[in-house]
Structure 1
Amino acid sequence: MSEETTLEELLPVITDFNKHYYDSLEKGELVAKKCNDCDHSFLPAAKYCPNCLSENVDWKVLSGEGTVYSWVEYHRPYHEAFKDKVPYVVAIVELKEGPRLISNIIDYDLNTLKVGTQVEAVFTKGFSNFPMVNFREK
């Protein structure tokens, strides 16, 4: 019999490299890496631009606005700890600046939520008070 994964094991590991991202979420800002050579913005953060391979990249504050690229409504919990949260929506959001981010859509209406729906970032706390970004319809 295998042991069940704990929620702590599902949390991202904070490193010197990604700490700025999570610190920014804590402050209510969504950031991504942006290439200073080709202007490409990207997530997850990397030490070089995936578009032109330049190492001339810096963090940039994003608008927090985006469009639903794809979504699914879960009726079964991914983990036992989420059983009281079903149903919930997991979506791929294409941010105004270009990167795509997997997140939850909160306070949604199934009659209006569709691919192409405009959304905005909402900063919340998850398990263990972990900073998160969710989205809601504009």
Structure 2
Amino acid sequence: MDTSLPAKPRPHINAISRGFWENCRRGILSVQRCDDCGHQHYPGAPVCPSCLSSRQSWAPISGRGTLVSWVRFHRAYWDSFRADVPYAVCLVKLDEGPLMLSNFAGDAPAEPTIGALLEVVFEKVDSDLTLPKFRVRD
């Protein structure tokens, strides 16, 4: 009997998101920045949500933020996550403004504290994919 789990879903990397994922592979967290008005946003979009300009680039940011919310999943909604249950998902307000949904790096705190200061760490999945995750800052 084959007990192996199916592969986890992977992000759809396209022309809009490619810069974000390339930066993650280099250990750099980035947000999309409008080249015309300077608005920073995440996730990437074809046009700036502030001024509708299509001139945008991926700008490196600090990788620091604040825990806004979190949830611990005790059920695997996808078979590929069965071995990870329970796992925590966090909502981080980046110091630069945008919100980012991610996971805690390593073992999540038993009871994460809303308002905790976080920093990004990168988890290399393979040569093509590196995921940004967050840990509590010292």
Is TM (by shorter chain) over 0.5? yes
Task: Confirm or deny: 8 A CA contact 1:7 1:127 kept in the other structure.
Answer: no
Which stretch of the first structure deviates more once superposed, 32-41 or 85-94? Answer: 32-41
User: Percent identity over the alignment?
Assistant: 36
Matched AA of 2:109: D
Q: Which runs of 5+ in 2 are unaligned?
A: 1-5
Q: Rate the CA distance shift 1:55–1:81 in 2: closer, same or farther, 3 A.
A: closer
Alignment map for 1:99-114 (pairs within 5 Å):
99-106=98-105, 107-111=107-111, 113-114=112-113
Q: Alpha-carbon deviation of 1:47?
A: 2.8
Q: Does 2:96 align with 1:124?
A: no
Distance 1:55 1:19 in 2: 16
Distance 1:63 1:69 in 2: 17
The C-alpha deviation readout for 1:11-52, integer Å capped at 9, x for no partner, is 122223321111111110111111244332101112321122
Distance 1:59 1:7 in 2: 28
SS at match of 1:21: helix
Q: Alpha-carbon deviation of 1:65?
A: 0.3
Q: Which runs of 5+ in 1 are unaligned?
A: 1-5
Tell me the equivalent position of 1:3. none
Q: Alpha-carbon deviation of 1:72?
A: 0.4
Distance 2:126 2:77 in 1: 14
What TM-score comes out, normalization by structure 1 length? 0.82
Q: Rate the CA distance shift 1:82–1:61 in 2: closer, same or farther, 3 A.
A: same
RMSD, matched Cα: 2.1
The structure in which a higher percent of residues are helix is 1
Alignment map for 1:25-36 (pairs within 5 Å):
25-36=24-35
| Stretches of 4+ aligned residues off by more than 6 angstroms | none
Tell me the equivalent position of 2:3. none
